Amino acid sequence: MTYLDFEPIRFAHLPTPVEELPRLAQVLGLSRLLIKRDDQTGLALGGNKTRKLEYLLGDARSKGARTLITRGAAQSNHCRQTAAAAARLGFECVLVLAGTPPDYATGNILLDQILNAELVWTKGRDPEQVLQESYSNLEHKGADPYLIPYGGSNHLGVLAYVEAMEELMSQSPEVDRILFATSSGGTQAGLCLGAKMYGFKGKLTGISVDPEAPALKRKVSEIANNAASKIGSPIRIQEDQLEVVDIFRGEGYGVMSDLERTAIKTFARHEGILLDPVYTGRAAGGMIELIQSGAITNDERILFWHTGGTPSLFAYAEEIFQ
């Protein structure tokens, strides 16, 4: 994008496919169901953060950084993709992970280790405080760190999903509503800003996997408008223009319930598509319940945006078949 003072580093496999899900549409009683496969972005088993990292690492390189540092949950998909991008482009990588190290590494933690990231565990402390302390330590050691925010969700990460919306519209799917998981807000902010910029007329429904709707709307509006300012766009996203459904948060972030179990098995057994337990499983479970309740009507043409996260399935093996 010519308005940036650096060039994004292109390593994602783009455009990601848009596929029909005819068997699942029939099961759910929908006239049309599509899926956008951002689980196939290509970086260490893919996911939506790969798009954002193209921009964030372009900025990091332009600033002369040598070490990437970010934070996330123990099974963070964002952290796994950051570690992979660092390895591919020759950065060192420090990941601040919530909790304590497990006795046995699986899922994304195993991949973080294979990718040679340094893992810093919060051990009950505030994750953002540990992140800032770790960043300061890297500065003190002369490691030239670049801090990537939680989820890669800032004005640069948003621009990647503005671009993703343009990509989707070039693929010309005829849809009335796009549904997706939302948590740190960057993906939703980019899609909403991109929808206004490129004239998407349908609905954008974010299924919150953790934050309550008012707080998430504030975050999405803030970072979307920061991104719009960055590119000189007069478009602004108001909180009341955003749709966030927060009734499927269950017992909290990463706590699996029958909602996620049903969605994971339904997508797998009817379309051979794997969802993750935290993000896409919860968002797809919410979508299914909205359809069954009539909140989404059967004549709506739906696109589910698959944001990735499949490696964390292996950390939830016992919970999936409870």
Is residue 306 within 8 A of residue 39, CB to CB? The reply is yes
Alpha-helix residue ranges (DSSP H) falling in the chain:
22-28, 49-62, 77-89, 107-114, 127-140, 155-170, 186-198, 213-230, 258-271, 280-293, 317-320
| Sequence-distant (≥ 6) Cβ neighbours of residue 234 within 8 angstroms | 228
Residue 141 in 3-state DSSP? Answer: coil
| Sign of the torsion angle spanned by Cα atoms 112, 83, 319, 269 | negative
Q: Tell me the C-alpha distance between 178 and 259, whole Å.
A: 20
Is 76 catalytic? The answer is yes
Check if the beta carbon of residue 203 is closer than 8 Å to that of residue 300: no
The helix or strand, by DSSP H or E, that contains position 69, with its residue range, turns out to be: strand 67-72
* Beta strands at 301-306 and 32-37: parallel, antiparallel or unpaired: parallel
Among left, alpha and beta (phi > 0; psi -120 to 50; other), residue 160 is alpha
Report the C-alpha gap between 266 and 253 in whole angstroms. 21
Contact between 65 and 90 (Cβ < 8 Å): no
The amino acid sitting at 247 is: I
Question: Which one from 31, 62, 76, 134 is the annotated catalytic residue?
Answer: 76
Gap between the Cα atoms of 96 and 88, Å rounded = 20
CB 246 within 8 A of CB 208: yes
Active site residues per annotation: 76
